[in-house]
Chain A
């Protein structure tokens, strides 16, 4: 079975532009989470979606938005890009409600590396 896939793998944008990153979860997984990892830091939680509804949001500005589609794939959108948005963006999927959220394992994709110039 395919794991979590993300596209594109790499992206270069300039300040002020917007970007859309895409994620396809593992088949059967209904929840998708997005994380941002900047150099030298651990991944930071941005959003989680379950059944097309936002279930959680991290401490990120409104320039960041996301949505989940009926097939459970997801998009992360970032508007008015800043240099500081340069990072690896990770998507993770989970079954959700599998033994409760405590034991819910999130399975990660390889990430999209975004460079903002």
Chain B
């Protein structure tokens, strides 16, 4: 059984604060790491796909890093805004039979207080 762990489960930050959360995954048989943002009552939105150790991706105020050797990825949000309030999910792909399926963590629920 592959476990993808995300921490914290939830957090509240003030508007303008920067924040980050963690995704931990098995370091063996790594294939890819995906990040999604999921706003209430909407569809999960793809943020990043990362495949190489040391990958860094950036989209506006959101960025992500990847360490495949130790099995973790960080998602950073700079200057949080109320519209950043959502659940952030990471999903792991492993090589072989699992290369087509996403194994998700439980997500980090972010609430940005105006």
Q: Report the nearest A residue to B33, measured CB to CB.
A: A102
Q: How many residues of B contact A (CB 8 A)?
A: 27
Which of A38-62 touch B at CB < 8 Å?
A: 40-45, 48, 50, 55-56, 58
Interface size classification for chain A? 20 to 34
Question: Could you tell me if B103 and A45 are in contact, using CB atoms closer than 8 angstroms?
Answer: yes
Does A3 sit within 8 A of B, measured CB to CB? yes
Chain A nearest Cβ from B108, distance in angstroms? 11
Question: Could you tell me if B100 and A42 are in contact, using CB atoms closer than 8 angstroms?
Answer: no
Question: Could you tell me if B43 and A58 are in contact, using CB atoms closer than 8 angstroms?
Answer: no
User: Which residues from A are CB-within-8-Å of B42?
Assistant: 110
Please report B residues at the A interface, Cβ cutoff 8 Å.
4, 31-32, 34, 36, 41-46, 49, 51, 89, 91, 93, 97-107
Interface CB pairs A-B, < 8 A, 25:
A33-B101, A33-B102, A35-B104, A40-B106, A41-B106, A42-B4, A42-B105, A42-B106, A42-B107, A43-B89, A45-B101, A58-B101, A101-B31, A101-B32, A101-B99, A101-B100, A102-B32, A103-B32, A103-B51, A104-B100, A105-B34, A105-B46, A106-B46, A110-B42, A110-B43
